[in-house]
Structure 1
Amino acid sequence: MANAGEEFRLVSPGIEHDGRLPRKYTDEGQGAKKNISPPLEWYNVPEGAKSLALVVEDIDAPDPEGPIVPWTIWVVSNIPPSLKGLPEGFSGKETAEGNIKEGHNDEKVPGWRAPKMPSHGHRFEFKLYALDDEPHLGNKVTKEKLLDSIQGHVIGEAVFMVHF
């Protein structure tokens, strides 16, 4: 748990902050090595956190109907605050760690899905929420359900940005 004054931080050993998302984590990866979730590590989890939740979005996704609408790439909830991160390729694997749940992304499937991009230069935002409660989301977790359920329970946020 964090000491006062230490920033709640999210990093990826596989990606530099504001760096490029390596191809193997996208739908453009070589061979079978694609759609592997990147490794994540976090530091200084706020005191009193009972669970963590992660939302990854393409915040520059164009909507043919109008303005830019964030595209959900990955949702993970009920992460125990005792964990120090998620290893590369965590998505889609059964875990013995508590009852971590992977939510449905905007491709309507659970897990990590970095879409094939019509153009590059998009920003992907990884946002980790520290919560003073453990959300109860039922079987089908979505970003909307998660964000609704954590209102009033967020005691810290850590953000990590990469470019695609």
Structure 2
Amino acid sequence: MDLLGEHLLPLPRRDGAAPFTVTSTTVREGGTWPPEQFSGIFGVPGGKDVSPQLSWSGAPEGTRSYAVTVYDPDAPTGSGFWHWAVADIPATVTDLPEGAGDDTGSGLPDGAFQIPGDARAARFIGAAPPAGHGPHRYFVVVHALDVESTGVAADATPAVLGFTMAGHTLGRAVLVANAETPA
């Protein structure tokens, strides 16, 4: 199964990253985000900007840390929209509780930190597709890395994180959730 082609994943196709597994008690693969995972910051009714619970397994040998990103390639920006980025998750950690991506990163393990996404908030920002824009895909990706630290600054962008991870990515686990705001 080619996860990269299956979802039209907006990530490099030829970097040799091995697939592994990510699951969630919050949302299933191909499912719809629950109301709590929609954006309260952007005024979506019922939205609370609660990050999803995530668990992963089967990362490649040699994994020394993880990063997690949530990206909407369907946002009407010309460049998509980064909803969450977490760097430097220790290799011994294989799950994040629901709500880990709050303002303080209270559910993140020691050493891990959140990078400001496109809303310039260093926290999880929930789904917020414009009303009537149609369905949006949200790529929840766990990146297995061959370094303990990415070395990115806490005020970097997810694009800088992605660039920095490019030469250190051993594997990727991908879950795609969907959201739509009716007209």
Bin of the TM-score, shorter chain as denominator length = 0.7 to 0.9
Q: 1:96 to 1:130 in 2, by over 3 A?
A: closer
1:10 counterpart = 2:22: yes
- Normalised to the residue count of structure 1, the TM-score between the two structures is 0.85
1:80 counterpart = 2:94: no
- Normalised to the residue count of structure 2, the TM-score between the two structures is 0.77
The answer for the alignment partner of 1:3 in structure 2 is none
Partner amino acid for 2:116?
Answer: H
Q: 1:149 to 1:7 in 2, by over 3 A?
A: closer
CA-atom RMSD in angstroms: 1.8
- Per-residue deviation, residues 7-50 of structure 1 (Å, max 9, x unmatched): 511111111110001111112353xx610101011011211111
Q: Which runs of no fewer than 5 residues in structure 1 stay unpaired?
A: 1-5
The answer for the alignment partner of 1:148 in structure 2 is 163
| Equivalences, count | 153
Q: Which runs of no fewer than 5 residues in structure 2 stay unpaired?
A: 1-17
Once the two structures are TM-superposed, the CA of residue 51 in structure 1 deviates from its matched residue by 0.5
Consecutive aligned runs of 4 or more in structure 1 exceeding 2 Å deviation: 92-98
Q: How many Å separate the matches in 1 of 2:107 and 2:51?
A: 14
Q: 1:160 to 1:153 in 2, by over 3 A?
A: same
The answer for the alignment partner of 2:33 in structure 1 is 21
Residues 4-153 of structure 1 aligned to structure 2 (within 5 Å): 8-27=20-39, 28=44, 30=46, 34-63=48-77, 68-92=78-102, 93-94=105-106, 97-118=109-130, 119-133=133-147, 134-153=149-168
Q: How many Å separate the matches in 2 of 1:156 and 1:115?
A: 25
